[in-house]
Structure 1
Amino acid sequence: MRRITSVLVSLSALLAASAMTAPVAGAVPQADRPAAVPGGWEAVDGAELARITGETGALRAPATGERLSASAEEPELMALQSVRNGLFAATELNYGPPSTGVVRARSAAYGGAWEGFAFEWDETTETYAMRSLANNLYVAVEKNYTGSAKNVLRARSAGAGGWERFHVYYNEELGHWALQSTLNGLFVTMENGYTGSLQYVLRARSAEITGAWEEFVFYDIAS
């Protein structure tokens, strides 16, 4: 009897230990979602960006801007619309230094290259680089800028390194996207409260996705 009781106790202990270590049914893997990213947001790789934008027919440039052709081997061509103010991000080519090429959500509609960006996926780093179609330069996070311009996004780099790389996240329920700089780990925000020449500038400064300020709608601008 003592032997049977001992076996039952051991079996019960084993089952209890298994229950403690077993994953909760229906739990969503967290491997691609850091703590700063709320539920519902998932990291997107090169294939997924093309698939999501391709399957969502509504996400097409709602304007009469030029259509840009792209093959399957080329980067994804996108226009970015701020959820906060409803305006499209543009590369400010006419701004003088040191603000030449800053990215600002200021266009009422997609009108062409100024509002266009090529998203280039890098398998090694598993990150994206954004190349402005307005000047063919990569968007960098200006970490060394100070004051209200610190961490502003600016299309000014001939190549893509750590300053020019981003993680891209997508929320299927909202249909919204978010960008996280790999340089400082912060999310890109549209500065709706700014005034003057930097009003609506895009800046990598949010520790997490909090709402419309960090959210964008992506439009496929390729034909």
Structure 2
Amino acid sequence: MSSVAKSARQSAAVLLSLSALLAASAIGATSASAAPANADDAQAPAGWERVDTELMNELLVEDGAAPLSASSATVEELPWAIESMNTGLFVAAELNYAQPNTGLLRARSDWFNGGWEQYAINFDEVSETITITNKANGLNVATERNFTGASNGLLRARSEGVGSWERYVLYYHEVNDTFAFQSVVNGLFVATERNYTGQLQNALRARSDWINGSWEQFYLW
């Protein structure tokens, strides 16, 4: 696909996916676990804005969708995909990996071909955080805070419940039309580990203090 066609499709798809998924999820929003101070109080880097309820509603209204507070009984849930800006690859949940890496999120697919690369998103209006659910296994993405070494902070689709490990703060950059994810449990931003090798190559890991560049930026489809 040409870069022009790709850009056009992406621009059309981003808010469409967000409109359906986030508006549909507002009715079922649940109370969140308390976020640590470093997640709540962090200043957004230049050009970045935390997606709070007000901004989310602005994005929805700009796309012609109902705001979160409106009834969304007729909204159709659409699959949602994440593309790493750094690699140009889509994020898949590695469901065939053995433990402890089962469900590892990794930017490795040329396209979102099925449930492994598709996610549902829920926006919680109380905490103004999101949860991410893999469509293939129905499990929520968690930040593996207790993993050690180079695996500390890896993202895995492995949880049935929702707590601080499964919650993320969403940031948006209007000029770049990109998004960033900050893990609530450790206050760090998710990066694509492009320099990792083997099974962990391009793994998603909450490990950056800041949105430093393309490693921490993602397109939403």
Query: So what's the TM-score if we normalise by structure 2?
Result: 0.72
Instruction: Determine the structure 1 residue equivalent to 2:86.
Output: 84
* Pairing partner for 1:190 from 189, 192, 196: 192
> 1:73 Cα shift?
5.5
Instruction: Determine the structure 2 residue equivalent to 1:102.
Output: 104
What number of residue pairs does the alignment pair up? 175
Cα distance in 1 for partners of 2:218, 2:80 equals 11
Taking a change above 3 Å as real, the CA distance of residues 193 and 161 of structure 1, as seen in their structure-2 partners, is same
Cα distance in 1 for partners of 2:112, 2:77 equals 19
Unaligned segments of structure 1, at least 5 residues: 1-31, 57-69
8 Å CA contact 1:76, 1:120 repeated in 2: no
Instruction: Determine the structure 1 residue equivalent to 2:213.
Output: 211
Taking a change above 3 Å as real, the CA distance of residues 49 and 89 of structure 1, as seen in their structure-2 partners, is farther
> 1:34 Cα shift?
3.1
- Asked if 1:41 is matched to 2:48, the reply is yes
8 Å CA contact 1:75, 1:120 repeated in 2: no
> 1:75 Cα shift?
6.3
> 1:147 Cα shift?
1.4
> 1:136 Cα shift?
0.3
- Asked if 1:137 is matched to 2:156, the reply is no
Aligned amino acid, residue 48 of structure 2: W
SS at match of 1:178: strand
Q: CA RMSD in A?
A: 2.5
Matches within 5 A, 1:46-57: 48-49=55-56, 52=59
Aligned amino acid, residue 110 of structure 2: A
Between structure 1 and structure 2, the one with the greater Rg is 1
Cα distance in 1 for partners of 2:81, 2:96 equals 19
Unaligned segments of structure 2, at least 5 residues: 1-39, 64-71
Cα distance in 1 for partners of 2:119, 2:61 equals 16
Instruction: Determine the structure 1 residue equivalent to 2:180.
Output: 178
Aligned amino acid, residue 149 of structure 1: S
> 1:76 Cα shift?
6.5
Cα distance in 2 for partners of 1:118, 1:49 equals 16
> 1:154 Cα shift?
0.3
8 Å CA contact 1:75, 1:119 repeated in 2: no
Instruction: Determine the structure 2 residue equivalent to 1:21.
Output: none
Cα distance in 2 for partners of 1:134, 1:54 equals 30
> 1:123 Cα shift?
1.8
8 Å CA contact 2:104, 2:203 repeated in 1: yes
8 Å CA contact 2:51, 2:128 repeated in 1: no
Deviations 1:73-102 (A, max 9, x none): 576742000000000000000000110000
Deviations 1:52-74 (A, max 9, x none): 47857xxxxxxxxxxxxx96657
Taking a change above 3 Å as real, the CA distance of residues 211 and 136 of structure 1, as seen in their structure-2 partners, is same
8 Å CA contact 2:190, 2:204 repeated in 1: yes
> 1:122 Cα shift?
1.2
Identity over aligned residues, as a percent?
46
Taking a change above 3 Å as real, the CA distance of residues 183 and 169 of structure 1, as seen in their structure-2 partners, is same
